[in-house]
Each structure stands twice: as structure tokens, then as C-alpha cells.
Amino acid sequence: MVNLESARAKLAAVPDPEIPAVTLVDLGIVRDLRETASGVEVVLTPTYSGCPATELIADDVRAALAEFGDVTVTLQRAPAWSTDWITPEGRQKLQHYGIVPPQCSAEQAIRVVPKLRCPRCDGGRTEQLSRFGSTACKSTWRCIECGEPFEYFKPI
């Protein structure tokens, strides 16, 4: 019998390979953890269906939970991942790391132009430099007040 509470604690410590300041649980990528006859199954929803880190994430999950027996990783792509699934703790960690978390829900993003505050100096005069940042889920911005660039985690 697997201690699911211990397995959840181990899983909650697995960092995202692209943004190590947050965990897979913080990002809402982990959908479920369940006991199986020979170990555990973890259900993941990648942030994008073509996310290049998906296999690495699955390997990291298997390594973190190996002590619980066979680890099956199942990818569930529907419903699609949404930035609405990022936990409040995850949003705080992103901000502290220098990535502004989504400022509205995915539904509101269609109609709202964000007014972002700089994560470095807290300045309110910012501008978008590029719709795409280091990954497809982020855009690149700059603070006019301190001149520093920063990334914004786009609501999707």
C-alpha cells in the first residue's frame, strides 16, 4: 500500500525544468496522483501540447516517486492546461523569480490589455517588446522606469 500523502509531498517538490523557481504542482501541471496495484500513477497536463520539456518532466516525476514502486505517467491533454491553474503560491514564486504571473483569467485575456508592474522596481510604466519570450507561454516586456526587461507569463 502506497502512502499517497508522502508521494504527494515528494511530487510537490519537483521543480519545473524551464522555470525552476516553481514546482509542477505550483504550475497546475499535476492533475492527479493515484495508487495502482504496483505503485502510483501521475496524471499530467503539459502547458502546451508541443512542450519540449514534457519528456523531461515525466522522467523527473518518475525519479522523484521511484521509492513508491512502478510510476506510470499519463498525459491528459483535455481539457487543455490554463494559467488559471497556477496556484497562488506559484504566482508569488513567479513574481519573486522575476516573471510577472498572469494578471487576469484566461477568459479575460481576450479582452484585456495588461497593465504590468515591474517585478524588479515595482514601476508601473512598462511596455511590451515582443509577444513571445524565452518560451511560447511568455512575452517580453521592459520597465520604462528602470530599463530592465522582464517576462510576463501570458494567460492561456
Based on the fold, state whether residues 95 and 141 are members of the same structural domain: yes
Identify which of 57, 46, 51, 66 has the alpha carbon closest to the alpha carbon of residue 17: 57
Residues 90 and 56 in one domain: no
Residue-range definition of the domain harbouring residue 37 = 4-75
* Whole-number pLDDT of residue 146: 93
Task: Tell me, yes or no, whether 111 and 133 share the same domain.
Answer: yes
Question: 41 in a domain, yes or no?
Answer: yes
Number of domains making up the chain: 2
Boundary (domain end) residue, out of 52, 75, 98: 75
Q: How far apart are CA 146 and CA 123, in angstroms?
A: 8
- Confirm whether pTM is higher than 0.85: no
String of b and e for 62-99 (b: at least 16 CB within 10 Å)? Answer: bebbeebeebbbeeeeeeebbbebbeeebbebbeeeeb
For CA atoms 31, 113, 92, 59, give the dihedral sign.
positive
Task: State which of 75, 109, 136 marks the end of a domain.
Answer: 75
Q: Are 22 and 90 in contact (CB under 8 A)?
A: yes
Same domain, 52 and 112: no
Model confidence pLDDT, tens digit, residues 102-141: 887 777 766 666 788 999 999 999 988 988 888 878 889 9
